[in-house]
Amino acid sequence: MNTPRLLWFPTLLLGLVLSSGSFSDGPVEPRFPSGHITIEQLQQFMAEVKIIPDIRCANAPEHQLICDSGAQRTIWVFTVEGHPAHPAVSRGIMVVNKTSAGTSIGIDRSGHYAGDAEAFKHWMSEFKVLDDRQVAEWSRSLRR
């Protein structure tokens, strides 16, 4: 199972985020209180995401649909038929903390599944690798 490299946000967006006023993000509550949800809840969640005003959704390799919102600094990845973890969703949010010591950026990741728990766990572990790479790239941009 290969998760496509997610090109999170253009450098321009990162610049806009960092140039805005002082703010701090904390952990964001997952959409549902449990990781395991019903297919109906997953479909409802996808419908909610697709009506976000600046949302862009595109089919991606490996039976996935990627939706992103620059305004919300969030990317959702939904599995589609044929994906081992289907039906499932992963949400990643850019978290920015500005303090007197500087700015740090991270990703708050959560997910939900209505299918195979082990396949979902494996899929989510793939995001950890991608998130670590993305955070490292953002961190390098901050030091420039």
Per-residue confidence (pLDDT) for residue 24, from 0 to 100:
45
Judge residue 22's burial from the number of C-beta atoms within 10 Å of its C-beta, 0-12 exposed, 13-18 middle, 19 or more buried.
Answer: exposed
Residue 12 covered by a domain: no
User: From CA 17, how far away is CA 8, in angstroms rounded?
Assistant: 13
> Which candidate, 74, 82, 84, 85, places its Cα nearest to that of 30?
74
Length of the chain: 144
Residue 78 covered by a domain: yes
Residue 120 covered by a domain: yes
Residue 16 covered by a domain: no
Residue 117 covered by a domain: yes
Per-residue confidence (pLDDT) for residue 124, from 0 to 100:
96
Count of domains observed in the chain: 1
Per-residue confidence (pLDDT) for residue 103, from 0 to 100:
78
Reading the chain (144 residues) residue by residue, the pLDDT tens digits are 444 444 434 443 444 344 444 344 566 787 877 889 999 999 999 999 999 999 999 999 999 999 999 998 899 999 999 999 999 999 999 888 877 777 778 899 999 999 999 999 999 999 999 999 988 888 887 776
Per-residue confidence (pLDDT) for residue 101, from 0 to 100:
76
Residue 112 covered by a domain: yes
Residue 48 covered by a domain: yes
How many Cβ atoms sit within 10 Å of the Cβ of residue 98?
17
Per-residue confidence (pLDDT) for residue 25, from 0 to 100:
55
Residue-number span of the structural domain to which 38 is assigned: 23-143
Per-residue confidence (pLDDT) for residue 26, from 0 to 100:
60
Per-residue confidence (pLDDT) for residue 20, from 0 to 100:
43
Query: Which tokens hold the place of 118?
Result: 């082990």
SS (H, E, C) 15-43: HHHHHCCCCECCCCCCCCCCCECCHHHHH
Query: Which tokens hold the place of 96?
Result: 């920015």
